Amino acid sequence: MLATSRGCILFGFSFLLFTGASWAQFTAISGDVKDVDGQKLRGAEILIEREGQKGTYKGAKTDKNGHYIYNGLPIGKYTVSVIVGGQTRDQISGVATRLGDPTELNFDLKQAADKQLAQAGSTPAQEQARGMSKEERERLDKQAKENAAILAKNKALHRAMEDTAKEHRGSLSHCRRSRRDNHSRAGGIPFATARFRRSLPPLCEFGRAVAAGKWVALFPGIG
Protein backbone atom coordinates (compact mmCIF):
# COMPACT_ATOMS: atom_id res chain seq x y z
CA MET A 1 0.00 0.00 0.00
CA LEU A 2 2.79 2.36 0.93
CA ALA A 3 4.71 1.47 -2.20
CA THR A 4 1.62 2.13 -4.31
CA SER A 5 1.13 5.55 -2.71
CA ARG A 6 4.75 6.44 -3.32
CA GLY A 7 4.40 5.38 -6.97
CA CYS A 8 1.34 7.57 -7.45
CA ILE A 9 3.06 10.55 -5.83
CA LEU A 10 6.15 10.15 -8.01
CA PHE A 11 4.01 9.79 -11.14
CA GLY A 12 2.02 12.91 -10.29
CA PHE A 13 5.15 14.89 -9.54
CA SER A 14 6.77 13.76 -12.80
CA PHE A 15 3.61 14.67 -14.74
CA LEU A 16 3.60 18.15 -13.24
CA LEU A 17 7.26 18.64 -14.09
CA PHE A 18 6.74 17.45 -17.68
CA THR A 19 3.63 19.62 -18.12
CA GLY A 20 5.37 22.68 -16.70
CA ALA A 21 8.39 22.14 -18.91
CA SER A 22 6.14 21.74 -21.93
CA TRP A 23 4.21 24.92 -21.22
CA ALA A 24 7.44 26.76 -20.54
CA GLN A 25 8.58 26.12 -24.13
CA PHE A 26 5.78 28.19 -25.65
CA THR A 27 6.43 31.81 -26.54
CA ALA A 28 4.63 34.79 -28.10
CA ILE A 29 5.12 37.52 -30.69
CA SER A 30 3.56 40.95 -30.34
CA GLY A 31 3.93 44.43 -31.78
CA ASP A 32 2.32 47.46 -33.41
CA VAL A 33 1.43 48.16 -37.05
CA LYS A 34 1.39 51.63 -38.66
CA ASP A 35 -0.23 52.40 -41.99
CA VAL A 36 1.42 54.34 -44.84
CA ASP A 37 0.08 57.60 -43.37
CA GLY A 38 1.74 56.91 -40.02
CA GLN A 39 -1.55 56.14 -38.25
CA LYS A 40 -2.28 53.04 -36.22
CA LEU A 41 -3.67 50.33 -38.51
CA ARG A 42 -6.72 48.45 -37.27
CA GLY A 43 -7.87 45.05 -38.56
CA ALA A 44 -4.64 44.00 -40.28
CA GLU A 45 -4.13 40.22 -40.37
CA ILE A 46 -0.93 38.75 -38.94
CA LEU A 47 0.33 35.55 -40.55
CA ILE A 48 3.09 33.64 -38.71
CA GLU A 49 4.95 30.80 -40.47
CA ARG A 50 7.57 28.64 -38.81
CA GLU A 51 10.85 28.37 -40.69
CA GLY A 52 12.42 24.95 -41.27
CA GLN A 53 9.35 23.12 -40.02
CA LYS A 54 5.71 22.90 -40.94
CA GLY A 55 3.63 25.29 -38.98
CA THR A 56 1.35 28.19 -39.93
CA TYR A 57 -0.39 30.31 -37.32
CA LYS A 58 -3.31 32.53 -38.30
CA GLY A 59 -6.03 34.43 -36.55
CA ALA A 60 -4.16 37.35 -35.01
CA LYS A 61 -5.41 40.84 -35.98
CA THR A 62 -4.47 44.33 -34.90
CA ASP A 63 -6.87 46.09 -32.54
CA LYS A 64 -7.99 49.74 -32.65
CA ASN A 65 -4.57 50.77 -31.36
CA GLY A 66 -2.77 48.85 -34.12
CA HIS A 67 -1.49 46.28 -31.59
CA TYR A 68 -1.39 42.50 -32.01
CA ILE A 69 -0.19 39.50 -30.03
CA TYR A 70 -0.01 35.77 -30.75
CA ASN A 71 0.55 33.36 -27.87
CA GLY A 72 1.40 29.67 -27.81
CA LEU A 73 4.24 29.60 -30.33
CA PRO A 74 6.95 26.95 -29.92
CA ILE A 75 10.48 28.28 -29.62
CA GLY A 76 11.95 28.73 -33.08
CA LYS A 77 12.34 31.10 -36.02
CA TYR A 78 9.38 32.54 -37.88
CA THR A 79 8.40 34.63 -40.88
CA VAL A 80 5.77 37.20 -39.90
CA SER A 81 3.60 38.90 -42.54
CA VAL A 82 1.11 41.78 -42.42
CA ILE A 83 -1.87 41.23 -44.72
CA VAL A 84 -4.30 44.03 -45.61
CA GLY A 85 -7.16 43.47 -48.02
CA GLY A 86 -5.84 40.06 -48.97
CA GLN A 87 -2.43 41.43 -49.99
CA THR A 88 0.88 41.06 -48.15
CA ARG A 89 1.99 44.59 -47.30
CA ASP A 90 5.12 43.72 -45.31
CA GLN A 91 7.05 40.64 -44.26
CA ILE A 92 9.93 39.99 -41.85
CA SER A 93 11.85 36.71 -41.77
CA GLY A 94 14.18 35.18 -39.21
CA VAL A 95 12.19 36.28 -36.18
CA ALA A 96 13.52 34.23 -33.24
CA THR A 97 11.24 33.74 -30.26
CA ARG A 98 12.49 33.40 -26.69
CA LEU A 99 11.21 32.35 -23.31
CA GLY A 100 9.77 35.00 -21.06
CA ASP A 101 8.33 38.19 -22.49
CA PRO A 102 6.83 38.17 -26.00
CA THR A 103 9.17 38.89 -28.89
CA GLU A 104 8.40 42.45 -30.03
CA LEU A 105 8.01 42.95 -33.78
CA ASN A 106 6.67 46.26 -35.13
CA PHE A 107 5.70 47.11 -38.72
CA ASP A 108 5.75 50.48 -40.51
CA LEU A 109 4.03 50.08 -43.88
CA LYS A 110 5.34 53.42 -45.19
CA GLN A 111 8.94 52.35 -44.68
CA ALA A 112 8.12 48.97 -46.22
CA ALA A 113 6.62 50.61 -49.32
CA ASP A 114 9.62 52.93 -49.72
CA LYS A 115 11.97 49.96 -49.38
CA GLN A 116 10.08 47.97 -52.02
CA LEU A 117 10.23 50.90 -54.45
CA ALA A 118 13.95 51.32 -53.86
CA GLN A 119 14.58 47.61 -54.46
CA ALA A 120 12.43 47.57 -57.58
CA GLY A 121 14.25 50.57 -59.06
CA SER A 122 13.25 51.26 -62.65
CA THR A 123 12.27 47.66 -63.49
CA PRO A 124 8.94 46.95 -61.74
CA ALA A 125 7.84 44.87 -64.73
CA GLN A 126 10.70 42.44 -64.15
CA GLU A 127 9.71 42.00 -60.53
CA GLN A 128 6.11 41.47 -61.56
CA ALA A 129 7.12 38.97 -64.25
CA ARG A 130 8.57 36.52 -61.76
CA GLY A 131 6.48 33.38 -61.51
CA MET A 132 4.53 34.16 -64.69
CA SER A 133 4.14 31.92 -67.69
CA LYS A 134 5.71 32.77 -71.04
CA GLU A 135 2.39 34.04 -72.43
CA GLU A 136 1.78 36.22 -69.37
CA ARG A 137 5.28 37.72 -69.62
CA GLU A 138 4.75 38.47 -73.31
CA ARG A 139 1.46 40.18 -72.52
CA LEU A 140 3.15 42.19 -69.77
CA ASP A 141 5.97 43.27 -72.10
CA LYS A 142 3.47 44.28 -74.79
CA GLN A 143 1.48 46.31 -72.31
CA ALA A 144 4.64 48.02 -71.04
CA LYS A 145 5.62 48.98 -74.60
CA GLU A 146 2.14 50.34 -75.32
CA ASN A 147 2.22 52.37 -72.12
CA ALA A 148 5.65 53.76 -73.05
CA ALA A 149 4.38 54.75 -76.53
CA ILE A 150 1.34 56.49 -75.03
CA LEU A 151 3.55 58.32 -72.55
CA ALA A 152 5.88 59.51 -75.32
CA LYS A 153 2.92 60.69 -77.39
CA ASN A 154 1.48 62.60 -74.43
CA LYS A 155 4.84 64.28 -73.81
CA ALA A 156 5.07 65.35 -77.48
CA LEU A 157 1.52 66.71 -77.35
CA HIS A 158 2.30 68.58 -74.15
CA ARG A 159 5.37 70.20 -75.73
CA ALA A 160 3.32 71.20 -78.81
CA MET A 161 0.68 72.79 -76.59
CA GLU A 162 3.35 74.70 -74.68
CA ASP A 163 4.85 76.01 -77.96
CA THR A 164 1.39 77.10 -79.18
CA ALA A 165 0.71 78.86 -75.88
CA LYS A 166 4.03 80.71 -76.13
CA GLU A 167 3.23 81.85 -79.68
CA HIS A 168 -0.22 82.98 -78.57
CA ARG A 169 1.22 84.98 -75.69
CA GLY A 170 3.71 86.58 -78.09
CA SER A 171 0.92 87.56 -80.50
CA LEU A 172 -1.09 89.11 -77.68
CA SER A 173 1.88 91.15 -76.52
CA HIS A 174 2.48 92.37 -80.10
CA CYS A 175 -1.19 93.41 -80.49
CA ARG A 176 -1.14 95.29 -77.21
CA ARG A 177 2.01 97.17 -78.20
CA SER A 178 0.47 98.05 -81.59
CA ARG A 179 -2.69 99.38 -79.91
CA ARG A 180 -0.67 101.50 -77.53
CA ASP A 181 1.34 102.93 -80.44
CA ASN A 182 -1.82 103.73 -82.44
CA HIS A 183 -3.39 105.32 -79.38
CA SER A 184 -0.37 107.56 -78.86
CA ARG A 185 -0.29 108.65 -82.53
CA ALA A 186 -4.02 109.49 -82.56
CA GLY A 187 -3.78 111.71 -79.53
CA GLY A 188 -5.33 109.16 -77.23
CA ILE A 189 -8.86 108.54 -76.08
CA PRO A 190 -8.41 110.55 -72.86
CA PHE A 191 -7.48 113.61 -74.93
CA ALA A 192 -10.59 113.31 -77.14
CA THR A 193 -12.75 112.78 -74.09
CA ALA A 194 -11.36 115.92 -72.47
CA ARG A 195 -12.15 117.95 -75.60
CA PHE A 196 -15.72 116.68 -75.58
CA ARG A 197 -16.12 117.56 -71.90
CA ARG A 198 -14.84 121.11 -72.53
CA SER A 199 -17.51 121.57 -75.23
CA LEU A 200 -20.31 120.60 -72.84
CA PRO A 201 -20.70 123.93 -70.92
CA PRO A 202 -21.61 126.06 -74.03
CA LEU A 203 -24.09 123.43 -75.16
CA CYS A 204 -25.67 123.39 -71.72
CA GLU A 205 -25.98 127.19 -71.70
CA PHE A 206 -27.69 127.11 -75.10
CA GLY A 207 -30.15 124.50 -73.88
CA ARG A 208 -31.06 126.50 -70.79
CA ALA A 209 -31.58 129.69 -72.88
CA VAL A 210 -33.90 127.95 -75.30
CA ALA A 211 -35.87 126.48 -72.40
CA ALA A 212 -36.28 129.96 -70.86
CA GLY A 213 -37.47 131.53 -74.16
CA LYS A 214 -34.30 133.58 -74.60
CA TRP A 215 -33.29 132.03 -77.91
CA VAL A 216 -34.05 135.38 -79.63
CA ALA A 217 -31.28 136.97 -77.59
CA LEU A 218 -28.95 134.28 -78.77
CA PHE A 219 -29.91 134.91 -82.40
CA PRO A 220 -30.72 138.64 -82.78
CA GLY A 221 -31.36 138.35 -86.54
CA ILE A 222 -34.39 136.07 -85.97
CA GLY A 223 -37.88 137.41 -85.11
End-to-end Cα, the chain, rounded Å = 166
Q: What pLDDT, on a 0 to 100 scale, did the predictor assign at position 220?
A: 52
| pLDDT band at 96; cut points 50, 70, 90 | very high
DSSP string of 84-131? ETTEEEEEEEEEE--SSSPEE--EEHHHHHHHHHHHHTT-HHHHHHTT
Residue ranges per structural domain of the chain: 22-121, 131-182
Q: What pLDDT, on a 0 to 100 scale, did the predictor assign at position 186?
A: 52
Integer-rounded Cα radius of gyration of the chain: 45
Short-list 115, 74, 76, 69, CA closest to 95: 76
* SS3 assignment for 132-180: CCHHHHHHHHHHHHHHHHHHHHHHHHHHHHHHHHHHHHHHHHHHHHHHH
Q: Is the pLDDT of residue 32 over 60?
A: yes
Q: Is the pLDDT of residue 90 over 90?
A: yes
Tens of pLDDT along 145-203? 887 888 788 778 778 878 877 777 777 776 677 666 665 555 554 544 555 455 545 55
Spatial separation of the C-alpha atoms in residues 136 and 102, rounded to whole Å? 44
Report the amino acid identity of residue 28: A
Tens of pLDDT along 64-79? 999 999 999 999 999 9
Q: 123-137: buried (b, 16+ CB within 10 Å) or exposed (e) per residue?
A: eeeeeebeeeeeeeb
Contact 46, 103 (CB under 8 A): no
| Percent of the chain whose pLDDT exceeds 70 | 58
Q: Is the pLDDT of residue 36 over 50?
A: yes
Q: What pLDDT, on a 0 to 100 scale, did the predictor assign at position 115?
A: 83
Q: What pLDDT, on a 0 to 100 scale, did the predictor assign at position 183?
A: 57
**Mean pLDDT: which of 100-104, 124-128, 210-214 is highest?**
100-104
Spatial separation of the C-alpha atoms in residues 151 and 158, rounded to whole Å? 10
Please tell us whether the domain made up of 22-121 is placed in CATH 2.60.40.10.
Answer: yes
| pLDDT band at 120; cut points 50, 70, 90 | low
Tens of pLDDT along 37-63? 999 999 999 999 999 888 899 989 999
Task: Tell the burial category of 102 from Cβ atoms under 10 Å away from its Cβ (0-12, 13-18, 19+).
Answer: middle
Contact 50, 78 (CB under 8 A): yes
Spatial separation of the C-alpha atoms in residues 112 and 147, rounded to whole Å? 27
Contact 48, 76 (CB under 8 A): no
Q: What pLDDT, on a 0 to 100 scale, did the predictor assign at position 159?
A: 81
| pLDDT band at 141; cut points 50, 70, 90 | confident
Q: Is the pLDDT of residue 109 over 90?
A: yes
